[in-house]
Structure formats: C-alpha cells, structure tokens
Chains A and B, each alone.
Chain A
Amino acid sequence: MPPSGKIIELRQVLAERFPRELPPPSSLLATGIDCLDRPLEGGLRRGSITQLVAPLPSSGSASLLHELIESMQAASQFVALIDGKNSFELIDPANLLLWIRCDNVSQAIRAADLIIRDGNIVLSILDLKQNEARELRKVPATAWYRLQRVTAEFETTLLLITSYYISGSSIAALQINNPLRITDFTELSSTISQSRLIDFIYRKNHHVEPQYAQA
C-alpha cells in the first residue's frame, strides 16, 4: 500500500529541516562514470552494497560494467568480477581484473563471500543479471543480509547487478531505464555508458520513495 500524502509531506519537511549529512569523501569509491557517481553523490559507498537494476534485456548494464572495470584499471585498483552466469565477454586485456566464472547464484554468492572476506579487493562486482529471477528468488533473505554484514565488516565495496530489485541488502538501488537500440552500434562505448538514464529506486534513510510505491 502506498504511503499516505501526509506521511510523504512529513518526510519532505523532515528532509528540509534536517538535511542528510553527506558521507565523507574517503567513504566513497569514485567509479569515474559520471552517470553513476552523480546520483550516488561521489561514488559507491565503501562497506556497503549498491545495487544496479537492469530490468530490460538490453539496457546497457554490461557496457557500464566494462566501463567501470576500465575506469578502475586506469586508477590501478583491483576489481573482482563474480560472474553469476559466466557471461562476461572480455574485450580488452584487464590486468587488474579477477574474473570468477560461476554457474549459478548460490555459487556466486559463496564466491562473493570469500572475496569480500579476503579484504584485498577494492571493488567486487556481483553480476547476477543473467541469472533467472526464479533462481534469485530462491536465495533466502538471510544470505543477502549476511553479505551486507560481511561487506560492512571488511569495508569493501560491492556492486550488485540484477535484473530486478532485491530489497533489504543494499544501501542504494539504481535502475537503468533506457533500452539500447541498434543505432547504438555506431556510438562510442563510453557514450553509451554515460547516456544511461539511471534513477534511484531505493535509497536508505532518504525521503525519495521507491518507484514501486508510486506505481
């Protein structure tokens, strides 16, 4: 049930009177991709899970993923890609990328857990976009919660890419809304990534309502 107008109004008043404190820059991991860093006010939050939802079959999430890996490489940062369906296509050599090719969600979550607990990798990307929704739904909420706790404990950054929003685990969830077209084949990859229309669908401790509540 959507919240009543009074509650929305009250939240807006509270947000204006007590503006949310911006996180210190050290707690953010700048991705170097404007369309991600801008809404996240500087980058991915360290010690948290940020979720990127790509509901459309071709919405540019893989292009964004490549752009992100490239950007982190340029900054000499190690990235671990936990590939839930072994679907990553290598385009350019990536010296600082650790690719873990999983077959299913369960394997991917366990691999993510190991990588996060290791504490050596700056950014871990758990890409479950290609995993089927019914497989994702089988994952108990406690598993996501545990992943969140581990991420916080080891102060690593986890970007979770899925085809639908998984509630409860992430500090923020962003959704890519524009589909790719065949005309995009003539565009530069960076342009495609930067032109993704990304909106919040969830943001912890923020007055912006989830998109599903407005529907």
Chain B
Amino acid sequence: MPKPKLFAVVHTPYFRLQCAQQKLLNAEIESNRQTNLPFFGESKTVPKTGDKIPSALLNDAEIIEINPAADAGGVSIGITPSLALARAPELQIYSSVAEQEEQQQEALLQLCYRYSPFIENTSPGVCTLDLRGRKDQHQEWWTRELLTQWRILGFTAQIGIGPNPELAEQAAKFANPYLEVNANSQLLRSLPLESLQPSHELLDILHNWGIRTLGELIRLPREDFGVRLGLEGLALWDRASGRSTKVLHHMQPPETFRESIDLEQRLETLEPLLFVLRRSLEHLTLRVEAVYRLVAEIRLLLLLDNEETLERTLQIPAPTRDVAVLFRVLAQYLETVQTTAPVVGFALEVFASNPGKHQFNLFQSGLKDPNRFFNTLARLAALVGNNRVGIPEKIATHRPDSVRMQWPAFDWMDKTPTSTKPPRIGPALRRYRPPIPATVELISGKPAKIQSQSVNGEINKLAGPWRSSGDWWHTDRWDIQEWDIELAQGGLYRLTLSAGSWSITGGYD
C-alpha cells in the first residue's frame, strides 16, 4: 500500500512587516547600547514590536501589511498612513526593505531545506515542504525545532501539515503554531471559500448559490459542479476536497549567507559594533548549520559615514560553526582596524564549506585547535611584527642571511617533515643582526687581532677566506670575504669583509 503523501507549509504571517521590524530592532538595539540606556527599559529608542503593538508596513504612501493588533485597531490594508494613525494612534509604521526581505526569505528556505530536500519557494514568508521520505510518524518535534530556529532569526511563524499543499497552507494559516489536518477535517470544512483564493467571478457565482464554506462546496456532486463551472470549478472542488495534485516547483536554497544592517546611529567605538556583529554572526551560523555546512570564510564590509567602505575577508583555518571562534576572529581583526569615519552600516557574509575529512598517517599529529593557533599567530604578529613570525624558508640565493618568513598555510598541520638531508658539517652559527662593526689588524693579509664593542682579542686560529659574491647586475650587489676565527681566550666567530669594512656577522655556538 503506497504511503499517503504529506506536505508541510511554513507560513510567516505579515512577513514583510516582520522583516522591517527585525531590521529596525537590530539597529535600535545598537543605538540603545551606545547611549548606555537599559535595554529592558521602556526607552524611547527601543521600538515596540510584537503582536500586541499595532504595526503596519508602508509602501508607496499606502499601508500594505498589518499585524492582528493593527487589524483590531481598525487599520486596514490600502489606507493612507495618516488615516491609519487617526484610527490607531499607537500604530508603528515601518517602511518595506526589499533587501532584508530577500535575505530573510533565503534564510527561511535554508532552514526548511534541513527537513526536506523537496521544498518550494511558495511566496514571501511561505515555504512548502514535500515530506515524502520522512520516516517519522510524528511531525511535531521537527516543526517545533524549525519554528524555534526561525524565532531565533526574529520571526514568528505557523506550520500546517496536510495531504496536499493547499490544505497544508490553509492549516498553516490557522495553526497555533502547528496544525495537522486531513481532507475530512472539520476545521477545513468550516473555512470560507476565500481561503482558496478562487477568481472573483467564481466566488460571486458560489455566493449566489449560497455556498460560503469549503464543506458546503464539497457536498455538491463533483461531476455536476464541473459541468456547470468548467475546469476552474473542478480544480476548486478538488482543492477543497483535498484531491488537488498541485505540482511543487522544487528548488534548492541559495548557498549565500549574508546579513546587512544600516545602523541608526554612527558608531565610533568597537564595542557596540561587536555586539551587533555577534548577533548577525549567530544568525548566519544557524543558517549554515541548517544546510550541514561549516563556515570557512567571513567577509565583512563596513560602511563608513564618509561613504567609504572597508572590506576584509577573513579565512577560518579550520572551518567551524562555533560562534565564539568565529567571533574571536572577527573581533581580533576589528581591534586592529582604524576607520576614517564612524561606521554607519555593515554587511556580513559567510562562506560555507563541507566538513573536512582528514586522516593523519601513523606518525603524524595535527594541531589540537587550528583556529586558536592562527589566532595566536595573529597576536604574535601584533607583538613582534608581521614579517617576524612564521615558517622560515630559504631564498634561492647564496647571499648570506637570505631567509623569508612564510605565514603558515592553513594546511600547515598536514605538512610532512622535510625529507632526509645530507649530514651537516661544523657547528651552527648564531647570526648577529645587525652585524657588529669591528676593527681588524692584519698580518700577512690575514686577521690577527680584532676589536669591537663586544668581541675583542687576539686571533688564535682561523680558516678562510671564503669568498662569495652575487647580484652583480643589481644595485644591491654583494661581494664578501668570510673568515672563521677562534680567539685566544675562546670563542668561534665569523668575520666578514664587505665593501672594505670588517664586521662580526655571527658567533659559532
């Protein structure tokens, strides 16, 4: 026996209004912190949000969305803001923000994709999930989880489950916050015809027949109804009876994770910026988690008051979803940033990667916490200088002391040790940087006595000279003579003659 089909619809009531509220809330919380006002207080700067406060969304001088409190206060869609305010003086009016709506719709799709690979981007704030393949009989646990995640992002929604997308959507509209219905559900039968959004002509005909609810509609014989009202009528009957086979337009949610906020006030200090960044980071991480990925890169764009922008991409050495780790990377970078003007907005984007697979060989070990390690490296670089910490690498030249510091690559921990080298001869050198200038007495063209600020004495034994030169085609060509000397009182040193001047370039130790 085939398993009955099941669909779920996540319905976010007055979605566009919620988006606008969410955007303003982020910005206002920030300005509130900046002025050190208590967040919990009834401060003038804190916007009043939620179902109990009458709120409406404005677009082109017209109210286009309202919440239930505004509806109860007599505000209706299509009226002007002045009329709306006259009816409900407490009304909060928000402007629509298309970018925010787009980002939040993507977030909704990403969250839903976690629970079903077959989803449809039905309309703003609405996502339909095809639940075929889900083995669990009880839908409540995952719907609750999904609603919680959506609430963390700042949205309240309802979920309806039914045998077809239309019924599921109807159930979602009446859910509190979750409702599962079947075709024979009494609730569905009592729904008005308008809930299926038939054409005006069809609706007028049915009203003239005295039919107001879906239950009354499906009591009519299907064939006779079809003969009188044609295909459109048949389709409506099927949808009302739960027979509809609407084809879902399956899609994959975009893998972009971006949040942008225009701050209400200009930020001149780091702390309030970090506060709001952390919040955005939490949201983005949640979305990344929904698609079972890890954050590998963070791109931060700061918008400055003088219309300049500051953009920086930060790599995450070991991709993670740990907000604390990601925030540390972000905070550490921002601590080093000096902007030319106060910050008035930002865009934060994270790039996801698949969880890495790595297997060390038998004798290889990895870093315990690569993210912490690269964090430490950045601190070390701040302490000693950028080019003074890293993996030393010899430059392909014979010029003495030619070494460059390589910033460890992210796969540093995967590096295998260098292969077997031929055995070295002689003791190692401790190089004096810079070399110590010296006065050298020569006997028969060989150094016999040395004087400098730290090394003085008769030269007991010596070896050399070792001559080398290079880069003669450059202005910084070099041509040196090196001697290895042993002083009478002990101590082996390297003496160098370059451009007619003697210096001690190192001590053997």
Contact = CB atoms under 8 A, between A and B. Distances in A.
Contacts of B418: 73, 92-95
Contact of B426 (A110, A115, A184): A184
Given A95-B417, A107-B384, A66 B428 contact: yes
A76 B365 contact: yes
B312 interface: no
B205 interface: no
A58 B509 contact: yes
A166 interface: no
A208 to B, nearest CB: 26
A61 B80 CA distance: 85
A187 B492 CA distance: 15
Nearest to A102: B384
A212 interface: no
A16 to B, nearest CB: 39
A90 B403 contact: yes
B423 A190 contact: yes
Nearest to B405: A99
Contacts of B427: 58, 60, 62-63, 180, 184-185, 189, 192
Interface stretch (B154-162, B349-357, B387-395): B387-395
Nearest to B505: A89
A97 B484 contact: no
A78 B385 CA distance: 21
A201 B507 CA distance: 25
Interface string B139-159: 000000000000000000000
Interface residues of B, number: 59
Contacts, number: 177
A78 B376 CA distance: 15
Contact of A185 (B390, B401, B417, B425): B425
A120 B372 contact: yes
Interface string A169-209: 00000000001111011111110100000000000000000
A189 B425 contact: yes
Contacts of B384: 100-103, 107, 111
B428 A62 contact: yes
Contact of B506 (A74, A89, A99): A89
A100 B417 CA distance: 19
A168 interface: no
A93 B460 CA distance: 34
A59 B507 CA distance: 10
Contacts of A101: 384-385, 388-389, 405
A54 B509 contact: yes
B490 A179 contact: yes
Interface in A63-110: 63, 65-66, 73-78, 86-103, 107, 110
Contacts of B225: none
B491 A76 contact: no
A91 B428 contact: yes
A94 B392 contact: yes
A129 interface: yes
A65 to B, nearest CB: 7
Contact of B373 (A63, A73, A118, A190): A118
A57 B436 CA distance: 15
A189 B416 contact: no
Contact of B417 (A57, A74, A115, A180): A74
Interface string B489-501: 0111100000000
B417 A119 contact: no
Contacts of A192: 426-427
Contacts of A59: 509
A78 B384 CA distance: 20
Contacts of B508: 58, 62, 180
A115 B506 CA distance: 27
Nearest to A189: B424
B391 A99 contact: yes
Nearest to A57: B491
A20 B216 CA distance: 95
Contacts of B385: 101
Contact of B430 (A77, A89, A189): A89
Contacts of A130: 430
Contacts of B365: 76-78, 122
B463 A182 contact: yes
Contacts of A115: 376, 380
Contact of B392 (A97, A179, A190): A97
A185 B484 contact: yes
A120 B373 contact: yes
B408 interface: yes
A139 interface: no
Contact of A98 (B394, B408, B491): B408
A143 interface: no
Nearest to A183: B461
Contact of B509 (A74, A75, A111, A180): A180
B408 A76 contact: no
Given A58-B507, A94-B418, A187 B425 contact: yes
Contact of A87 (B364, B432, B460): B432
B379 interface: yes
A54 B408 CA distance: 31
Contacts of B393: 93
Contacts of B408: 98
Nearest to A67: B428
B398 interface: no
Contacts of A35: none
B224 interface: no
Contacts of B389: 98-101
A33 interface: no
23 contacts: A58-B427, A62-B429, A62-B509, A63-B428, A76-B417, A86-B388, A90-B394, A90-B403, A96-B417, A101-B389, A102-B384, A107-B384, A114-B379, A118-B372, A118-B376, A179-B491, A180-B427, A180-B508, A181-B486, A182-B460, A182-B492, A185-B463, A187-B425
Interface of A: 54, 56-63, 65-66, 73-78, 86-103, 107, 110-111, 114-115, 117-120, 122, 129-130, 179-182, 184-190, 192
Interchain residue pairs A-B with the least CB separation, the first 9: A62-B509, A189-B424, A57-B491, A118-B376, A62-B428, A101-B388, A182-B486, A87-B430, A185-B426
Interface of B: 363-365, 367-370, 372-373, 376-377, 379-380, 383-385, 388-394, 401, 403, 405, 408, 413, 415-418, 421, 423-433, 460-463, 484-486, 490-493, 506-509
